[in-house]
Every structure is written in structure tokens, then in C-alpha cells.
Amino acid sequence: MSADHRQSEIRAESASGGRVPGKSPLPKRSGRMRKALMICLVVLLAGSAGLAWDIHRFLHVPPQQPGETRLVEIVPGMSLIRISQLLESEDLVSSGMRFRLYAQALGRGASVQAGEFALHTGWTPDRVLDVLTSGRVYLHRLQIPEGLTWWQTGRVVEASGLASFESFAKAVHDPDLLRRFNIPQENAEGFLFPETYYLPRPRNNDARPIVEMMLNMFWRVADEQLWPEDRPSVETVRETVILASLVEKETGLAEERERITGVFANRLRIGMRLQCDPTTIYGLGPDFSGPLLRRHLDDPANPYNTYMHAGLPPGPIASPGLASLRAVLHPEEHNLFYFVSSGDGSHTFSRTLEEHNRAVRQFRRTQGR
């Protein structure tokens, strides 16, 4: 090979950068970079898909199926973080953090209401949030039967778990509350209207809202059912409640209420003592458990002893229902002055003491058998 030809090859190799014709122009390191970028892209896409699936599952898959109801109390001032943690701990949402972010994203984080709510572990987050922001708190059922004294009513309230007996006793004796509801006596006896109530749980175990609800119900029923045109004086209302409470305690039979009212009305008209056992028992107080003895009936120190004191007792002896209140306004007109139990829930009524004594002997014979 001539020197001129060798120099030509050297110049050609220099001009091509020293590459061998027919080989790839990319170095091995560039191939590895492309592979790494592809791996990163795949991981990123997989992570995004996983996150999207987690969000979809949080929004559309309930924590439990079929699930169960849980009562949850949101106290005033509770933060959204604390609320979300509470919901997660009760299995009402699968993620407290995601629920908080979800509520904030919708602009409803500050709209959660305080109160007790009935939520379900089979609900999705949107339904849980709807209930919490709607203010539809859970309503407890409280059934108050006819003919209970105020302390018996207080025990029913306490047994319901809604309020304490002590707060109930305080409320029924509160002078401001009594004045507000036009009750001219030292407690709300007789005006705690028997009804089935549905109410939210009172705060701090306080029975005052429950007492207010019962007193409101009394006046509402009285104005609608007893005196729709013109409410009488407060004292007339009170006397009606007193007499109705006696009727309520003396019989549970609907067909006897007007007749028993007629007996009491006849006695009051001629100044005859009512001689009503339930009034005497009431005057013996909450701790009395019986039996009623002759010495109780002969005790003039008991102001509710209608064997010793003429006229109506000083106040109601229970809260009567609507039927007994109506009976007092429409007593049966007759010439009966006595009644005694027949032993089957009904009573035997008499015009004279002689007839009454025979009925009493018959009752005692029945009881003896």
C-alpha cells in the first residue's frame, strides 16, 4: 500500500469519528437510560391506577356489608379531624383522613352538625356526610304512661338513659319553669302529660328539655281538645287536673271514668269527704310501699288524706291522660255516692252506705276465696 493511500484512510477514519461502518451510532449507556425511564413511567402509571382504585373503593364500597347501625355523638366544638377519626374507629368510613379531605373538597367540612346521629356501617361516605350535615339527629322514644306521679315519671326518664332523676326533680320544682307554664303550685305534678315522645338526647344528662316538652304538650292538648274556644282560669284548670288525677288512679276502665267522676262530683256538691285511698297514699310520699293501714286513714297530719279532710286534695296526685280530663268535664249524672272494687278491675257502685257495705263484704269474700 502506498503512503498516499494510507494517509487517505487515516483522514477518512478521523472524519467519521473513528466509528466502524455498519455499527449502531448509540452507546450502551443510552440504552440503559431509556429502559430506566420506561420502568419509571410504568411504575408511575401503576401507582396512579392504584391510587385511583383506592379512591374509587373509598367512595363507593361501604366499610361493612350488610353493616349495622351505630349511634355516634358529635359534641359541640369537635374538629373535623376528630370527627373523621371517630367515624373510622366506628367502622363508618374506611379512612378518616380521606373522609376529611372529601368533606373539605366539597366545601362541607364546616357544615357537620352537633348531636347524636344514627349512622350505618353499610353506607358510603357521601351518605354519612349528608346525614351529619343535615342536622337530622337521632330521636329517642320515651313512653310516659298515664297516672304516674312526678317521681315515677322521673324514674322512667332515668331508666331511658336520657337524663338523671336529680335533674328531673330539679326541673319539676323550678319556680321559673312553673311560672312560665302557668302552674300555680310548688311542682309540676299533674301537668307532665303522658304521651309517647320522640326527642334528641339532651345535653349533659339534663332533664329540663324533657320536662319542658311534657308541659308544652299538656297545654297544647288542653287548648286543642278540652278548651278549644276559650281557656278557663288557671285555678279552674288546676282543679280539673286534680280531680282528673283522682279518676285516673281509681280506674283503668274507660267506661267507668265518667261514672266515677259523677260520684266525686256528688260528694263535693253535698260536702261529703271523697275518702279516696290514692290521695292518702300520695301524701305518704315516694318511699311508701304499703299496705295502707287504718292509722294512715285516721292521720289528719297528711294534707292529702281525704278521709280526714273535705274537698279536693291540695294538688294533683298524678298526671292524668286525656280521657280522664275529658271525663271531669263531662261527668255522668246519677245519684251514686259509693264505689268499691269488684275484684276484676271494675267497680260496684252504690247509692247508699248500706248498699256499699254489702258490696264491700262481697268483695272481701271474693278476695278470701
Q: pLDDT tens, 262-285?
A: 999 999 999 999 999 999 999 999
Asked if omega into 228 is within 30° of 0 (cis), the reply is no
Answer whether residue 64 is part of any domain.
Answer: no
196, 231, 266 - which closes a domain: 231
* Residue from 231, 233, 258 nearest 247 by CA: 258
Q: Are residues 256 and 173 in the same domain?
A: no
In this prediction the pTM is 0.81
Domain total of the chain: 3
How many other CB atoms are there within 10 angstroms of residue 195's CB atom?
A: 18
Q: Are residues 243 and 210 in the same domain?
A: no
Answer whether residue 30 is part of any domain.
Answer: no
Answer whether residue 164 is part of any domain.
Answer: yes
Q: Are residues 79 and 102 in the same domain?
A: yes
* Residue from 328, 316, 337, 351 nearest 273 by CA: 337
Higher confidence at residue 106 or residue 25? 106
pLDDT class of 101 with cuts at 50, 70, 90: very high
171, 200, 231 - which closes a domain: 231
pLDDT class of 10 with cuts at 50, 70, 90: very low
Cα within 13 Å of Cα(138), Cβ side: 16
Residue 171: burial class (beta carbons within 10 Å; 0-12, 13-18, 19+): buried
183, 198, 231 - which closes a domain: 231
> What does the pLDDT read at residue 189?
98
Asked if omega into 232 is within 30° of 0 (cis), the reply is no
pLDDT class of 18 with cuts at 50, 70, 90: very low
Answer whether residue 22 is part of any domain.
Answer: no
Mean pLDDT of the region 165-192? 97
Answer whether residue 353 is part of any domain.
Answer: no
Q: Are residues 254 and 328 in the same domain?
A: yes
Which domain does 209 fall in, by range? 140-231
Mean pLDDT of the region 54-62? 84
Q: Are residues 191 and 243 in the same domain?
A: no
Q: Are residues 144 and 192 in the same domain?
A: yes
Answer whether residue 119 is part of any domain.
Answer: yes
How many other CB atoms are there within 10 angstroms of residue 73's CB atom?
A: 14
